[in-house]
Amino acid sequence: MKTEMLAMILAGGRGTRLLDLTNKVAKPAVYYGGKYRIVDFPLSNAANSGIDVIGVLTQYESIQLNAYVSQGARWGLEGRDKGVFVLPPREKDNTTFGVYKGTADAIYQNIDFMDMYDPEYVLILSGDHIYKMNYDKMLDFHKEQNADVTIAGLEVTFEEAKRFGIMNTDANDRIVEFEEKPAHPKNNLASMGIYIFTYKALKKALTLDAANEKSSHDFGKNIIPYMLNNNKKIVAYRFKGYWKDVGTIDSLWQANMDLLDGDNGLNLADETWKIYTEDIPTTPQVIGPKAKIKRSYINQGCVIDGTIENSVLFRDCVVRKGAKVIDSVLFPEVVVEEGAVVKNCIIAEGLVIPKEAEVGDRSEIKLIAKKGQVQKND
């Protein structure tokens, strides 16, 4: 078996700032956009880019995520010498069982997997970013540049630059310096955490890094600086378009709201670059005689007879007569009973907002993730 480029998706993180949403699921499995899970984006991008072999490295609360991504047919990734492979940490000969100690260590521990496919190039992706990108074009660029590493970069404001890994480049976009979260950024080209490595160079760097006890085994902190010091050719691939790292409840809410701007750059309706996801049989959405819907994104199976404004509703939500859902995101199977009002909220899967209850206000985005968190308003 030989594949030119395989993809490895880092999907082990918890996403602590997503609070109760990630108690039982890892961040890549969190819902987004009325229908999707975040990890659908890198998986669909990879499938649409013609990548056949994808490893997904999972660790934190991975039961749901493993079960979800292992069904490669969802993204059209089933077939001969094709597939999505779930790669959790495991016990190996002559070592004790160890979890993935960092992004680089996670890839290092799966060298055997990559060797099976004898790749020329390896694409490293993060499982928790929302964007559309053709990795095949990025590979063309990598080959043209004869680079050892190509890192996708996005221009951000200098204020935002403080939160990212920043690539300082020369006139030809060759990276001369890589700074993790600089206090005084010299450039505004942020790393999107998308790397194409020439496999030989990657394997060597990972092996050396693994032997270094002082290393924190991280791509941004260790592998890239090490390769820069050794005069490896690292180039930036400039990306223009929608890209979002949803680390917090606020940014998850905002990313959903972005969809309500007709032209947000993500264009989920684009037939030539579909984002694939789980197919759950439901009825069409049922819009009742009392429904009032404005500027919203509503999935199949919903039954709406109330008011919906500026909101994103996942499948099988029920909003009853006289209920109002405003500036909110309802995950699958949420029920908003008669007369209840939901404002500025993200409501987790399957919760019921009781009759006449009022949830949320103008001041902040509220996450409702537990049963009984909203009491009946008497």
Partner 1 sequence: MINALGIVNFPNNAVKIRGMSDYRTIAAMSFLGRYRIIDFVLSNMVNSGITNIEVMVREQPRSLVEHLGSGTQYNINPKHGGIQMLYPDHQAVSDAYYHDMFLMNENLEVFRGSKRKYVVIAQSYMVCSIDFGDVIKAHEESGADITCVYSESKRGKVSFIGCKMPKIDKYGRIHEINNNVGYDNKINVLTETYVMKRELFLDLIEKSYEISPLFNFIDIIKHHLGTLNVRGYKYEGYLSCVNTLEEYYRINMELLNPEVFAQLFKKEWPIYTKTNDSPPAFYSSTGHAKNCLIANGCIIEGDLQNCILGRGVVVEKGCVIKNALLLPNTYIGPYSHVEYAILDKHARVENQKDIIGSKDKLIYIKRRDRV
Binding site for partner 1 (CB under 8 A): 33-35, 73, 259-260, 262, 268-269, 274-277, 279, 281-300, 308, 312-313
Nearer to partner 1, 208 or 287 (CB): 287
Nearer to partner 1, 210 or 260 (CB): 260
Count of other CB atoms within 10 angstroms of residue 25: 22
Please state, in angstroms and rounded to a whole number, the distance separating the CA atoms of residues 91 and 98: 7
Provide, rounded to whole angstroms, the least separation between the CB of residue 258 and partner 1: 13
Provide, rounded to whole angstroms, the least separation between the CB of residue 324 and partner 1: 15
Alpha carbon dihedral 31, 165, 110, 87, in 10-degree steps, equals -10
Please state, in angstroms and rounded to a whole number, the distance separating the CA atoms of residues 242 and 264: 7
Provide, rounded to whole angstroms, the least separation between the CB of residue 332 and partner 1: 12
DSSP 162-220: TTSEEEEE-TT-BEEEEEES-SS-S--EEEEEEEEEEHHHHHHHHHHHHH-TT----II
Provide, rounded to whole angstroms, the least separation between the CB of residue 299 and partner 1: 4
Of residues 249, 267, 269, the one with CA closest to residue 258: 267
Provide, rounded to whole angstroms, the least separation between the CB of residue 314 and partner 1: 8
Please state, in angstroms and rounded to a whole number, the distance separating the CA atoms of residues 234 and 23: 38
Provide, rounded to whole angstroms, the least separation between the CB of residue 262 and partner 1: 7
Please state, in angstroms and rounded to a whole number, the distance separating the CA atoms of residues 266 and 28: 18
Nearer to partner 1, 187 or 307 (CB): 307
Nearer to partner 1, 228 or 293 (CB): 293
Nearer to partner 1, 129 or 320 (CB): 320
Nearer to partner 1, 22 or 277 (CB): 277
